[in-house]
Amino acid sequence: MRSGPSPDRNALPPLQVFLCHASGDKPAVRRLCVKLRTDGFRPWLDDEELLPGQDWQREIPNRVSDSDVVIVCLACQSVIKTGYVQKEIRHALDVADAQPEGEIFLIPLRLEPCEVPQRLTRWQWVDLFEAHGYDKLLRALETRSKSLARWAALRRTQREGVGVASRRLLDPLPPKSTSRHMTRADLYELGYIAPISTVPSILQNGILSHQRADIIAHESIGLQGIQDLRATKVIPGGCALHEYANLYISPRNPMMLKRRELHEQTCVLRISASVIDIPGALITDSNAASKYATFRPAPDGLAIVDRDRTFAESWTHDDQIEQWRHSAQKCAEVLVPDMVPASYISGAFVSCDASRAHLRHLAPGLQITLDPHLFFL
C-alpha cells in the first residue's frame, strides 16, 4: 500500500497528468485523481480545473498538449460511447506520435474488465481493478518523471557547455571549434514538407506562417497535436512560434517518418539556404515545439546545430535518453518570420512516379526530383 511519493521522486518536479475519461466514469476517475495528487503528481480533471467562462473545447486540447502523461481511462460503456471523449483520445494520439520513440506518454488504464480500443493496443495498458494495478501505474509515472528530469539535465549540461548560462537566450552564439557544429558551408538547402495539392498556392503566395495561412483555405500535413503545441509556444524575446514559417534543415526526420503513409500526397519543397539571411530568421537546435529547444538568430545560430546528428541516417541508440535527444535534433529548424517568398523555392522532391505526375500537372514549371529514400521508402 502506497502512502506517499517515493524518496527518489521528491526532488523531481510534479508530473502533469491529464485524465481522459467519459463522464459516466467520473466517480472512479475522481478517486484516481485524489490518489495521484496524494502521491505527489499533478493530475488535471476537467470539473476541478476548468474555470467558469472558459471555452472547454479549446482548453482541454491545450491541457492535453501541455501534459507530461495522458491516462486514458477505459470502462465497458466508455469504449463504445461516442462524443467528446473520442476527440480527446484522437488528440492525445497525435501528441503521442510526436513523442520520442520509447517514451512513456499515453497510458491506457482499464477501470474494469473491458475491451481496449484497437487504436490504443500498441501501448501496454494497466488494470486499475487488479490488486497491484495502481502500483504498476505509479512505476510508469515515476519512470516518465525521471526520464524528463534526465532529459532536462542533459539540456542544461549542453547549454552550459556552450556558455549559454551567461547569455540571453537570443544572443548571437559564436561558432564552436568542433567540426560537429554546423557552418554555413554545410547548409546546401532546406526542406519544407507540404501536401502536393498546396503547391500551386505556395508558388503564388510563398510559404506562409501558420498564422498567415489560417487566413486562406489550406491543407496541412502536420499532426494536430503538434500544431496545438506550437500554437502555445512563444519564442523568448520574440513572437509566437506560429508567426514563423518553419523549414527543416534535414526533412528526412522523425516527423517525416510519422507521415510515411501519406507519401503519395506529400512533397518536400527545396528551399535555398540563403533564406537564413532574411531579417529576423532564427535557428533551432531541435524541433521548435520541444520544451527544450534552443533558439538563436540566423545565420550565426547555425553553430548550435549538431551537423552530424542532424544529417545522420539513423537516430536509434542503445541509450534511450540519447535516442530521444537525437530524435529531437533531427528536427532542427530554420524559422522565418511571416513568410518565405516563393523565389526561394528551387524545386521539389517526391516519393514515386504517381506523385511526380500529380505535381507536374499542378506545377508544370517546377523542377521535380524522385527520391523515395527521403520519404523512408
Q: Which domains does the chain have, with CATH numbers?
A: 8-148 (3.40.50.10140), 165-375 (no CATH)
| Contact criterion met (CB below 8 Å) for 372 and 260 | no
Question: Could you tell me which of 226, 219, 259, 218 has the C-alpha nearest to residue 242?
Answer: 226
Question: Could you tell me which of 288, 316, 294, 277 has the C-alpha nearest to residue 187?
Answer: 277
Mean pLDDT of the 362-367 span: 88
Give the residue, 5 or 210, on which the prediction is more confident: 210
- How far from chain centre, in Å, is Cα 268? 19
Q: Which residues pair with 314 in a beta bridge?
A: none
190-226 pLDDT, tens digit each: 999 999 999 999 999 999 988 877 666 555 555 455 5
Q: For residue 318, what pLDDT band results from cuts at 50, 70 and 90?
A: confident
Nine-digit cell string for 267: 512533397
The CA radius of gyration of the chain, in Å to the nearest whole number, is 22
Q: Where are the beta strands (DSSP E) in the chain?
A: 16-20, 42-44, 69-74, 106-110, 126-127, 189-195, 207-208, 244-248, 266-272, 282-284, 295-297, 333-337, 339-340, 345-350, 368-370
Beta-carbon contacts of residue 181 (< 8 Å; ≥ 6 apart) = 175, 302, 303, 304, 305, 306, 307
> Which segments of 162-292 does DSSP mark as H helices, in order?
199-205, 210-213, 224-231, 254-258
Give the up-direction half-sphere exposure of residue 42: CA atoms within 13 A in the CB hemisphere: 11
Phi, psi dihedral angles at 347 (to 5 degrees) = 165, -165
Mean pLDDT of the 123-148 span: 90
Q: Residue 140: is its pLDDT beyond 80?
A: yes
Q: In what order do the strands lie in the sheet with 42-44?
A: 42-44, 16-20, 69-74, 106-110, 126-127
Nine-digit cell string for 163: 556558455
> What was the pLDDT predicted at 233?
66
> What was the pLDDT predicted at 176?
37
Alpha carbon distance 329, 249 (integer Å): 10
Give CA separation, 102 vs 32, 143, 316, in Å.
Answer: 25, 12, 11
> What was the pLDDT predicted at 211?
80
Alpha carbon distance 32, 185 (integer Å): 55
Q: For residue 228, what pLDDT band results from cuts at 50, 70 and 90?
A: low
Alpha carbon distance 99, 290 (integer Å): 9
Q: For residue 173, what pLDDT band results from cuts at 50, 70 and 90?
A: very low
Q: For residue 101, what pLDDT band results from cuts at 50, 70 and 90?
A: low
Q: For residue 64, what pLDDT band results from cuts at 50, 70 and 90?
A: confident
Q: Residue 99: is its pLDDT beyond 60?
A: yes
Mean pLDDT of the 283-303 span: 88
Give the residue, 58 or 246, on which the prediction is more confident: 246
Give the residue, 181 or 174, on which the prediction is more confident: 181
